[in-house]
Homo-oligomer: A and B are copies of this chain.
Amino acid sequence: MIDVPTLVEQARAGRPRAVARLISLVENAAPQLREAMAALAPYTGQAYTVGLTGSPGVGKSTSTSALVSAYRRLGKRVGVLAVDPSSPFSGGALLGDRVRMQDHATDPEVFIRSMATRGHLGGLSWTAPQALRVLDAAGCEVILVETVGVGQSEVEVAAQADTTVVLLAPGMGDGIQAAKAGILEIGDVFVVNKADRDGADATARELGHMLGLGEARGPGDWRPPIVKTVAARGEGVDEVVEALEKHRAWLEEHGELAARRRRRAAQEIEVIALAQLRSRIGDLRGDRQLDALAEQVADGRLDPYGAADRLVAGVTDR
């Protein structure tokens, strides 16, 4: 028996176990999820979300951990959602190179959650926003969404944050890779990590050049800054936080924060609505209707579009 009101109350009080159980409801698409989301809704909309993305090896995990430290120094409650579709582990498990996160494992004001989404119905676009709602309602003032993979859906999740950080490192031909993957477009703040290595200045220059090649910006437009860091030693991390705060202020000033959040909510609603419609179609599998239509299509008496029309009518007329 899951007592949702109690769980929500405990999560709001910052109890890690309650937060973890609510996120598990999301991952498992549990029947109580709807009730939980309704109960959490009034407490959401406060957290500032930061997406972090970049190729493997740029130091995303280390940078995330360093950012957690920086925000903790500012006294903020911090949530971390690490999304790794390639890992079979989720829940409390700290993934592979996430050892640095253990620095924060005993801090009651830091909530860290890894999500494995491989094979999940609806995928990341379904689970990530709802997990964010849980962390948001749990009073996290800042939520860092680190996408470990570099697939399209991971990049999309990172891009749906209030502010998106794209990480690069020197000597990885990263600039060109980033341009190819289309992640230059989504970056609000760029970080060249491992800046103590050879080629850091060249990478930053190349990046600046590529960003300058984009469409002309107006006087009020946001110009993505490029910050150099050595996250493993904490160098430059305060400057990243500063850049994030500047971007946040810019978003608020230009009405963009509310607009981004509306767009994000619209996507979230769409994904759930589609899942609902899909499950209605799924219900029809047991029915004779789909069988009968399939037989007619297999026999060439009906074309698949005509059959789909009738199926849609069957779904929408109930």
Q: Which residues of A contact B (CB under 8 A)?
A: 33-34, 37-38, 40-45, 129-130, 133, 258, 261-266, 268-270, 272-274, 276-278, 281, 285, 290-291, 293-295, 297-309, 311-312, 315-318
Contact = CB atoms under 8 A, between A and B. Distances in A.
Contact of A266 (B34, B43, B285): B285
A290 B270 contact: yes
A205 B302 CA distance: 46
| Copies of this chain assembled into the complex | 2
A295 B269 CA distance: 11
Given A129-B304, A312-B273, A312-B277, A265 B297 contact: yes
13 contacts: A38-B305, A41-B301, A41-B302, A41-B303, A258-B298, A264-B298, A265-B294, A265-B298, A268-B304, A274-B274, A277-B277, A277-B281, A316-B317
Given A38-B303, A40-B303, A304-B129, A297 B268 contact: yes
B298 A45 contact: yes
A261 B130 CA distance: 39
Q: Give me the 5 closest cross-chain CB pairs, A-B, nearest first.
A: A316-B316, A266-B294, A272-B308, A265-B297, A41-B303
A6 to B, nearest CB: 18
A279 to B, nearest CB: 11
Contacts of A266: 285, 290-291, 293-294
Contacts of A315: 273, 277, 316
A234 B304 CA distance: 38
Nearest to A306: B38
Contact of A44 (B33, B34, B300): B300
Contact of A274 (B261, B269, B281, B303): B281
A45 B296 CA distance: 11
A121 B266 CA distance: 20
Contact of A43 (B37, B43, B300): B300
A276 B308 contact: yes
A250 to B, nearest CB: 19
